[in-house]
Amino acid sequence: MDKMGKLKDIVVMKFGGSSVADADKIRKVADRVIEFTGEGKQVVVTVSAMGDTTDRLIELAGSVSSDPSRREMDMLLSTGEQVSIAMLSLALQEKGRGCVSLTGIQAGIFTDDAYSDAKILNIRPERIFKELKKGNIVVIAGFQGVNSEGDITTLGRGGSDTTAVAIAAALKAEYCEIYTDVDGVYSTDPNIVQKAVKLNALSYNEMLELASSGARVLHLRAVEFAKKHNVVLHVRSSFNKNEGTWVMDEKAIEEKMERPLITGVTSDTNQVKISVFGLADRPGVAADLFGKFAENNINIDLIVQNVSEKGIAAISFTIKNEDLSLARKVLEVLGSESIAVDPDIAKVSIVGAGMQTHPGVASRMFRILADRDINIEMISTSPIRISCVIRKPRVRDAVKALHSGFDIEE
C-alpha cells in the first residue's frame, strides 16, 4: 500500500508443479516473488502441487478404488496444492515477508458442481483485498474451488493456470505471469522438437486453439478467461529471467509482428475414440446421444458419422481418457450394446491465423502426413486450425514432419 492507503499495481504470479518441486525450488520462488514486490507491485501468487504430487495421488486412489468417485478425487487431489501454499508461505515468512496462504474456499473461488472439471462461476475477492491491504503477499491454492454445497471441487488437470487468470481478472491485475519449466509458448512442444521456436507474442484466439488442441503449457479455460476479461498473460520460465511469450489482444499483436502461415503444431495423446454401431439413421439420434454426454459433463472432441446402410449408421467420436469410465456408463444407460473403444489414437493439429487467407493449407498438411505413410482417420477444422486423428505411435513423427514441412523452424 502507498501512503494514501491505496493498493499498488497488482500482479498475479503462477508457479507450476515443476517450479515448486522441492524445498530448494520453493525458496527460489520465494526470492522471485520478493523481487517483484521490490518493483512496487503487490503480489498475489498461485501455486500448483509440488512436482508430480497430483499423479501420485491419482495412483494412490487407484490402490484402493477401481472406479473412484469424482467428489472424493477432488477431496484428495486438492490436498496437493494445500501443501504448496503452506510451504511457499513459510519460505516467504522465513525471509521476513508478511504472507498468508489461502485455499480456494478462503480465496472466494466459487465453482459449479462438475467435480474434477469444475468451472469457476465467480470470485469474491474480499479476503484477498483485505490481506493485500495489510501489506501481505497472498498465496492462493491453484486448481481448487468450492461449489454451492460447500464441497471442494477441482478445475481439471492443469487448472492452476485458470485459478491464476481468474484471480487476475477479479483483482483487475495489471497482468498475469505464468511461470513454468520452458521459456514460453513455442511453435511446438520443445520437449518433442528441439528446433521449436519460442513465440514472442500470440493472440488469445491462436492460444485458445493451441491450448484446446494439446499445447498443455496453458490450461484452455485460463485462456478463455484471459480473452473474456482482457487479462494480458506472460508465460515464462521460473528458472531464468528470459522474456517469455505474451498472450494478448489480436490488435495489440498485429502492430507487433508479421504473421506466419502456421504458428504452431500440437499433439494430444490423452484421448480415446469410441464408436457406437447400429444407430437408427433418423433425426434426433445424435442429439440424444450427445445430449446425455453433455448432461454428464463429458466433452466430445472430433465426431464422424459413417454413411448409413439400410437406415443403420455408426458414429465415432473422441473424448478425454479420464472420461472413459463415465462414458461407458452413459452408453450403458442409453442401451448402446455395440460399441468399440480405441485407446491407441492421437490428435495432431496445426494452428495459425495465417491460414484464413491462404488456401491449400489442409492439402499440404495431408500430403506431409501421407509422405510419412501416416494414415488420417478423422479430420476437424476451425478457421485457424486443422486437426487429424492418427495412430498414437506415429504422433511424434507427425509433429516433427509438420513442424519442418511448414518451415516453422529457423
How many beta carbons lie within 10 A of that of residue 247, not counting itself?
32
By a kind-dependent CB cut-off of 5 to 8 A, residue 54 interacts, out of Mg ion, ligand ADP, ligand ASP, none, with ligand ASP
Q: Does 214 bind ligand ASP (CB under 6 A)?
A: no
Helix, strand or coil, per DSSP, at residue 385: strand
Judged by the rule CB under 5 A, the positions of this chain that interact with Mg ion are 16, 158
Please, what is the minimum distance in Å from the beta carbon of residue 341 to Mg ion? 27
Q: Does 54 bind ligand ASP (CB under 6 A)?
A: yes
Q: How many residues bind ligand ADP (CB under 6 A)?
A: 19
- Strands of 339-342's sheet, edge to edge? 300-305, 312-320, 271-280, 339-342
Task: Give phi and psi for 250, each to the nearest 5.
Answer: -45, -50
Stretch that binds ligand ASP, among 46-54, 116-124, 187-195, 319-327 (CB under 6 A): 46-54
Q: Does 16 bind ligand ADP (CB under 6 A)?
A: yes
By a kind-dependent CB cut-off of 5 to 8 A, residue 145 interacts, out of ligand ADP, ligand ASP, Mg ion, none, with none
**16 vs 264 by CB, closer to Mg ion:** 16
Element containing residue 53 per DSSP (H, E): helix 53-62
Three cell numbers, residue 311: 437406415
**54 vs 153 by CB, closer to ligand ASP:** 54
Q: Does 104 bind ligand ASP (CB under 6 A)?
A: no
Give, rounded to a whole angstrom, the gap between the first and last alpha carbons of the chain: 46
Please, what is the minimum distance in Å from the beta carbon of residue 366 to ligand ADP? 22
Cα distance between residue 293 and residue 313, in whole Å = 19
CB 162 within 8 A of CB 155: yes
Site string for ligand ASP, 134-173 (x = CB under 6 A): --------xx-------------xxxx-------------
Site string for ligand ASP, 251-290 (x = CB under 6 A): ----------------------------------------
Task: Give phi and psi for 257, each to the nearest 5.
Answer: -150, 160
* Residue number closest to Mg ion, CB atom: 158
**182 vs 313 by CB, closer to ligand ADP:** 182
Please, what is the minimum distance in Å from the beta carbon of residue 157 to ligand ASP? 4
**159 vs 190 by CB, closer to ligand ASP:** 159
Cα distance between residue 34 and residue 21, in whole Å = 19
Site string for ligand ADP, 176-195 (x = CB under 6 A): ----xxx--xx-xxxx----
Q: Does 217 bind ligand ADP (CB under 6 A)?
A: yes
Q: Does 80 bind ligand ASP (CB under 6 A)?
A: yes
In SS3 terms, 269-324 reads as CCEEEEEEEEEECCCCHHHHHHHHHHHCCCCEEEEEECCCECCEEEEEEEEEHHHH
CB 15 within 8 A of CB 179: yes
**17 vs 125 by CB, closer to ligand ADP:** 17
By a kind-dependent CB cut-off of 5 to 8 A, residue 174 interacts, out of ligand ADP, ligand ASP, Mg ion, none, with none
CB 206 within 8 A of CB 252: no
Q: Does 158 bind ligand ADP (CB under 6 A)?
A: yes
**19 vs 101 by CB, closer to ligand ADP:** 19
Cα distance between residue 3 and residue 22, in whole Å = 38
CB 46 within 8 A of CB 163: yes
Residue 215 DSSP code: -
Positive or negative, the Cα torsion across 18, 109, 153, 84? positive
Residues paired with 138 in a beta bridge: 44, 100
Q: Using CB under 6 A as the criterion, which residues of the chain lie in contact with ligand ASP when the complex forms?
A: 16-17, 48-49, 54, 80, 142-143, 157-160
Q: Using CB under 6 A as the criterion, which residues of the chain lie in contact with ligand ADP when the complex forms?
A: 16-19, 48, 158, 180-182, 185-186, 188-191, 215-217, 264
